[in-house]
């Protein structure tokens, strides 16, 4: 199994020059406040008008206690420009109260126009599939058109692909990139099913990762020079313009996916067992 860095480096040496086909989509955790970071939100809106862009909002480590007018305006402008907005929801790796999570999802839907949810702290283990299957069911029942991005930050049991449209299979420091090996099932699925988030990266690393994402079968990516526990996800990277250009030039190749019937039946069985299991 080749480490991800090798695939990324191979792909970075052969950037495409046309954006007519589907390009790598930037998945930006925009946890900076629109009311005080107006220039950066304008950059996001301008980018959304020219290329695929998904932005994650996180008003207050979640939805917060009330509607925020600055977020409303920023969301509406970005979506009008062609971008997509995902709402941040933390789950504490299935330890957070399920009722609390679904209440937060419902508040987001009541307060903001979002395209889906970015579910953080997703478990990688099969034993927690019931929790996340039920969460997905809650979202799809509210609106079948809503997207779901799960962030385990590492490869998961393959059944999580039944729940989420996209899995972030790598979230890490840039210097740990060479330690990651892609899951064996990754190339059975379309690149849009996988994403990565990388922080503490210099310009060269950004160019390697974004330029090589298509070859690594990764459809969503974001790289920043922000530093963990300092300004992570609190600003756009200093090389934002170069990153948007690299993403436009990284062209994806569609991958036929396996028949979903068996996986769907498995997911429904897990959901049923989770719903009706005896609770303490």
Domain map (residue ranges) of the chain: 4-12+22-276
**Second-level CATH architecture of 4-12+22-276:** Alpha-Beta Barrel (3.20)
Instruction: Give the pLDDT means over successive 10-residue stretches in the chain (280 positions).
Output: 60 45 93 98 98 98 98 98 98 98 98 98 98 98 98 98 98 94 94 97 98 96 91 95 97 72 42 41
Q: Measure Cα distances from 254 to 22, 96, 191, 197 in Å.
A: 9, 36, 7, 22
Q: 0.75 exceeded by the pTM?
A: yes
Identify which of 11, 26, 15, 25 has the alpha carbon closest to the alpha carbon of residue 215.
Answer: 11
By the 10 Å C-beta count (0-12 exposed, 13-18 middle, 19+ buried), 279 is classed as: exposed
Give me the pLDDT at residue 15, please: 46
Give me the pLDDT at residue 194, please: 98
Measured distance CA(31)–CA(28) in Å, rounded: 9
Q: Measure Cα distances from 201 to 38, 102, 197 in Å.
A: 24, 35, 11
């Amino acid at each position: 199994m080749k480490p991800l860095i090798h695939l990324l480096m191979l792909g970075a040496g052969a950037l495409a020059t046309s954006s007519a086909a589907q390009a790598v989509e930037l998945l930006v955790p925009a946890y900076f406040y629109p009311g005080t970071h107006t220039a950066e939100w304008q950059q996001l809106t301008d980018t959304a008008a020219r290329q695929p862009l998904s932005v994650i909002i996180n008003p207050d480590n979640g939805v917060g206690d009330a509607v925020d007018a600055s977020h409303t305006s920023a969301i509406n402008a970005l979506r009008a420009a062609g971008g997509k907005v995902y709402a941040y929801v933390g789950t504490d790796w299935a330890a957070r109260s399920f009722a609390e999570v679904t209440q937060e999802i419902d508040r987001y839907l009541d307060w903001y126009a979002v395209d889906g949810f970015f579910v953080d702290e997703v478990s990688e283990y099969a034993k927690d599939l019931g929790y996340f299957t039920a969460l997905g069911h809650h979202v799809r029942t509210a609106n079948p058109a809503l997207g779901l991005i799960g962030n385990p930050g590492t490869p998961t049991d393959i059944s999580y692909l039944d729940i989420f449209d996209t899995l972030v299979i790598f979230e890490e420091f840039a210097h740990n990139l060479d330690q990651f090996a892609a899951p064996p099932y990754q190339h059975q699925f379309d690149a849009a099913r996988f994403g990565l988030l990388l922080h503490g990266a210099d310009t060269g690393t950004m160019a390697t990762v974004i330029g090589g994402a298509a070859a690594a079968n990764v459809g969503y990516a974001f790289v920043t020079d922000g530093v963990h526990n300092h300004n992570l996800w609190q600003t756009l990277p200093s090389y934002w313009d170069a990153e948007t250009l690299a993403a436009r030039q990284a062209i994806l190749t569609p991958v036929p996916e396996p028949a979903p019937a068996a996986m769907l039946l498995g997911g429904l069985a897990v959901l049923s067992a989770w719903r009706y299991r005896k609770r303490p």
